[in-house]
Amino acid sequence: MRRFAADRARRAVAASLRGAASSRSAAASPLAPAPCHPAPPVGAAAMAAALARTMSTAAAGTPPVSLNTINPKVLKCEYAVRGEIVTHAQNLQQELQKNPDSLPFDEILYCNIGNPQSLGQQPVTYFREVLSLCDHPALLDKSETHALYSSDAIERAWQILDKIPGRATGAYSHSQGIKGLRDEIAAGIAARDGFHASGDNIFLTDGASPAVHMMMQLLIGSEKDGILCPIPQYPLYSASIALHGGSLVPYFLDEETGWGLEVDELKKQLEEARSKGITVRALVAINPGNPTGQVLAEENQKKIVEFCKNEGLVLLADEVYQENIYVEDKQFHSFKKIARSLGYTDDDLPLVSFQSVSKGYYGECGKRGGYMEITGFSPEVREQIYKLASVNLCSNVSGQILASLVMNPPKAGDESFESFMVERDGILSSLARRAKALEEAFNSLEGITCNKAEGAMYLFPRLHLPQKAIGVAQAAGTAPDAYYAKRLLEATGIVIVPGSGFGQVPGTWHFRCTILPQEDKMPAIISRFKEFHEKFMDEFRD
């Protein structure tokens, strides 16, 4: 064996001398010590290593890890929400810090991501009080604590600790999450829907993203497994499908009807995928929509449920914006409520509902709390889902506590109830005003049309760009909406995500913009945006 190694080393030297050491195994150093020799003391070893480095430069020129050797699925995966434009923005931000007068704006405004607290939204006091107490339970025994925390937060912290085995907030929990907290979440779901929910069906996760990955990992075995996804979609789905090596089967939302989700279109795409030999495993529905902001009508949801039932698809319902509804005439209905109201039970339809503490009025993105409620899976398959959860042991316990709180906020009569409602309604009504102000601003501009933000945290306006702008972008090898986003950033400091990161009907161009900048900043942002846009249109007018 040792002789074999020596032979390989000789071949490697020969190859490096020919300058042809391109294969990974040729990276073996010709000075490799025979395995059994004791290593020399540090000083000498360092010298020998330095010598080896000098002598084997050519062989070492092939690094052990390169884009050619890593998992090609990782290369294929894209995630625009934190993509190129954000990296560019971060670089500009550093430039601003070093040299505040170097750019035509004095701050970067991150409208690329639904991250409310990064733009100044304050956390909801009651939730933070409870978390703070659970982090340091010794406080609960001290009388001074009553001077700092509301009495119902103290009581709630006790209740939560009593649900945690040994009151140990620092222990790994059950892999699905703490049973008592899951039961509380199930009670919140039942109160929301008017249908039974069980803590046994809840899997608490670090935000919704790991839950989505877990389901994709379960459902996708090869590129022959397809997942129906809306276009435009939140790129977590395309990224996760790419990472797990499946096929994204697109269905297009209809911009003309306010991003309507038509079952005809689902059917058409499903048949087309099947004709290509793809087994479609699941349908992703995002309601309220991301990036599109629409809220599905109840009748539409019924048809989607029936479609999944009839076609034997898992319904993956992204419902993380369930609290973010800004119009009077729309309401959130969970897909589970819709399915149950149609008379469908666990036997009819496997259904997963994703929820997150990052969204809602609370916007606690940094806490990474969330859950999925799974129904309609056989015990054997559930066991596999549990195994996937258990490999990561459990989600973070603060996030678990917060998930149970947002699903069961203070009730009338609780000491914190009134102040809680003031905070909650203040945030939601402000979001509604901001959504409307931005939508009107976009629609007032030449070359932009924008659907209503009925819910979620985004607008997804369409750019009707002059042909000249499209030509310039394409000549630079950039998608026209990416070109627009880059120019906007460089002129105003506003960060948006080009529509091409979400998918769109070919030949149309959009961008996603959050509605999250604080209200006092909105007029200035709108006027900066308008000024840029008008100049841009003038520059490229056909």
Q: Which stretch binds a second copy (CB under 8 A): 305-313, 322-330, 414-422, 456-464?
A: 305-313
Closer residue to a second copy (CB): 162 or 542: 162
| CB-based burial label for 132 (10 Å; 0-12, 13-18, 19+) | middle
- Which token pair is 134? 């659970």
CB 203 within 8 A of CB 178: no
The reply on whether position 352 binds a second copy by CB under 8 A is no
Nearer of residues 396 and 443 to a second copy, judged by Cβ: 396
| Bridge partners, 374 (sequence order) | 352
Q: Is 350 in the site for a second copy (CB under 8 A)?
A: yes
CB atoms near residue 461 (< 10 Å): 23
Of 154, 241, 284, 314, the one binding a second copy (CB under 8 A) is 314
Q: Is 428 in the site for a second copy (CB under 8 A)?
A: no
Please state the closest distance from residue 371 (CB atom) to a second copy, in A: 15
Q: How far is CA 527 from CA 444, 489, 530, 531, in A?
A: 12, 14, 5, 6
Instruction: Give CA angle at 462 (461, 467), nearest 5°.
Output: 145
Is the torsion defined by CA of 337, 338, 341, 343 positive or negative? negative
Q: Which is nearer to a second copy, 21 or 513 (CB)?
A: 21
Query: Of 302 and 452, which CB lies nearer to a second copy in the complex structure?
Result: 302
Among 105, 145, 192, 472, binds a second copy (CB under 8 A): 145
Q: In angstroms, what is the minimal distance from the CB of 530 to a second copy? A: 26
453 makes contact with a second copy (CB under 8 A): no
CB of 82 to a second copy, least distance (A): 4
User: Which residues, numbered 58-77, are part of the site for a second copy (CB under 8 A)?
Assistant: 60, 62-67, 69-75, 77
Say how far apart CA 388 and CA 250 lie, in whole Å. Answer: 27
Q: Which of 209, 324, 375, 500 binds a second copy (CB under 8 A)?
A: 209
Closer residue to a second copy (CB): 352 or 441: 352
User: Could you say whether residue 171 binds a second copy (CB under 8 A)?
Assistant: yes
> What DSSP element (H or E) covers 458?
strand 458-459
Question: Does 422 sit near a second copy (CB under 8 A)?
Answer: no
- From 95-103, 310-318, 425-433, 457-465, span contacting a second copy (CB under 8 A): 310-318
Report whether 129 contacts 147 (CB < 8 A).
Answer: no
Interface pattern 322-341 for a second copy (x via CB under 8 A): -------------------x
Q: Is 311 in the site for a second copy (CB under 8 A)?
A: yes
C-alpha distances (whole Å) from 308 to each of 55, 161, 303, 434, 447 are 63, 40, 9, 36, 38
Query: Among 344, 361, 511, 532, which residue sits at the site for a second copy (rule: CB under 8 A)?
Result: 344
Residues 110-139 binding a second copy (CB under 8 A) are 113, 115-120, 123, 125, 128-129, 131-133, 135-136, 138-139
The reply to whether 150 sits near a second copy by the rule CB under 8 A is no
Examine residue 292 and tell whether it contacts a second copy (CB under 8 A).
no
CB of 164: closest distance to a second copy in angstroms? Answer: 9
b/e burial code for range 379-407 (CB count within 10 A of at least 16 → b):
eeeeeebeebbeeeebbbbbbbbbbbbbb
CA–CA distance, 150 with 139 (Å, rounded to integer): 13
Torsion angle of C-alpha atoms 487, 91, 357, 364, degrees rounded to 10: -110
DSSP 8-class letter at 167: G
Does 240 bind a second copy (CB under 8 A)? Our answer is yes
Q: Which stretch binds a second copy (CB under 8 A): 23-31, 182-190, 414-422, 484-492?
A: 23-31
- Token pair in block for residue 483: 């070109």
Q: Residue 252, Cα to own-chain centre: how many angstroms?
A: 20
Distances (CA, A) of 309 to 291, 312, 345, 366, 393: 26, 5, 11, 36, 33
In the region spanning residues 40 to 59, those forming contacts with a second copy, defined by CB under 8 A, are 42, 45-47, 49-50, 53
Alpha carbons 441 and 526: distance in angstroms, whole number: 7
The verdict on 25 binding a second copy (CB under 8 A) reads: yes
Indicate the residue among 424 and 533 with the shorter CB distance to a second copy.
424
- State how far the Cα of 128 lies from the Cα of 364, in Å rounded to an integer: 10
> Distance from CA of residue 394 to its chain's centroid?
19
Measured from the CB of residue 141, what is the shortest distance to a second copy in angstroms? 11
By the rule CB under 8 A, 412 interacts with a second copy: no
Instruction: Return the range that interacts with a second copy (CB under 8 A); candidates 33-41, 318-326, 428-436, 440-448.
Output: 33-41
- Return the residue of 18, 329, 391, 412 that touches a second copy, per CB under 8 A: 391
Q: According to CB under 8 A, which one of 198, 331, 392, 467 is a site residue for a second copy?
A: 392
Strands 370-375 vs 247-252: parallel, antiparallel or unpaired: unpaired
Which sign does the torsion angle of CA 304, 307, 309, 311 carry? negative
Kindly state whether residue 191 participates in binding a second copy, applying the rule CB under 8 A. no
Binding residue for a second copy, selected from 105, 279, 478, 522, defined by CB under 8 A: 279
| 381 is an interface residue for a second copy by CB under 8 A | yes
Q: Is position 388 an interface residue for a second copy (rule: CB under 8 A)?
A: yes
359/84 Cα distance (integer angstroms)? 24
